[in-house]
Amino acid sequence: MMTKTPFLTVYGHITVDQIVSVGHFPSLNETVDIVSKKTSLGGTGTNIAITAARLGVPTSLAGFIGADFPKKYFDLMEGSGLIMDEVVTVDGYDSSQCTIFNDGELKQKAVFYQGPQGFASELNNELLDNASISKYVHFCTGEPAYYIELMKKLQGNGAKVAFDPSQETYRLWQKEYMDQAIPLVDSVFCNDFEAKVIVERQGLKEVTDLQKGLVVCTVGAEGSIAKIDGEIVKIPCVKGKEVVDATGCGDSYRAGFYAGLYHGYSVRDSLVLASSVASFTIEKVGALTNTPTWEQVEERAKPYLE
């Protein structure tokens, strides 16, 4: 049963991550040694929602898991303060799993098992109760057809809806799906690689040509480019102590953005605070292993804020 009203509802995968580091990616038929290996809770939906909740944002996570989902990770989600009544266990599927490979330069490759989130339209469960009363709704990875139907049903309820398919931009969000989804949302999030796909499929010159109130494109160590109510703004990269693992940095960036809005900052400064949150994530292995306090986020971001 829901105990509080969410400021933010996040739709996305709830995944078990295995993060593997190697000196270099193997060529065909080549074997390389694993330098380090860590198994942790992950998934775009989980990473964004848990980080936002830890930063003080009343956050609901909406998604599907298999019966095999580890209890320790379910307990971790509950312990973060997440609103969990729309995390649904589905029989007949194993839970989503991602194996992420980092090379010596922190370049990444990944293999992914969708789990029930990838087939959500077959499950006859809309998971709309929390989104319908949230101020912000963030759609990340998951089945396009399912999400489009939810976006349609959220029209007119007052929530600000974000489109952020992340790594699934390439292979799941074909032009026909983008054409349906983008008119239904208020904001678009992507990185520079995903932006190229959106630009191609939408017939644009730049991703910031999208006619949305907010378009955000992260560009790694160069920071971010945002279009805020028609104005192009460069968001600096907030520097952390060291670079260890880039897994989940984009997710923590999004969580930091919503935390900034929740704590009363402007859109521009919320994006700077988003970069500050990401700068902590990159300092340790795993997307959820180095979540800062909100006070630490503000302190690190202070030199970059207007």
Residue 2 lies in a domain: no
Residue 3 lies in a domain: no
Residue 181 lies in a domain: yes
Cα angle 269, 275, 281; round to 5: 145
Residue 273 lies in a domain: yes
C-alpha distances out from residue 6 to 52, 62, 135, 183, 273, Å: 11, 12, 8, 24, 21
pLDDT in tens, 78-94: 999 999 999 999 999 99
Q: Which helix (H) or strand (E) holds 78?
A: helix 71-79
Under 8 Å between Cβ of 113 and 141: no
pLDDT band at residue 40 using 50, 70 and 90 as cut-offs: confident
Query: Looking at the predicted structure, is the pLDDT value of residue 3 above 50?
Result: yes
Name the residue range of residue 63's domain. Answer: 8-23+35-304
Work out the end-to-end distance of the chain between its first and last CA atoms, rounded to an integer number of angstroms: 41
Give the mean pLDDT of the chain: 93
DSSP states along 207-263: GGGS-SSEEEEE-GGG-EEEEETTEEEEEPPPP-S-----TTHHHHHHHHHHHHHHT
One-letter identity of residue 280: F
Q: How many domains does the chain have?
A: 1
Residue 142 lies in a domain: yes
Cα angle 34, 39, 42; round to 5: 125
Residue 85 sits in a domain whose CATH number is: 3.40.1190.20
- pLDDT value at residue 286: 66
pTM of the model: 0.91
pLDDT in tens, 183-221: 999 999 999 999 999 999 999 999 999 999 999 999 988
Residue 30 lies in a domain: no
pLDDT band at residue 288 using 50, 70 and 90 as cut-offs: confident
Residue 28 lies in a domain: no
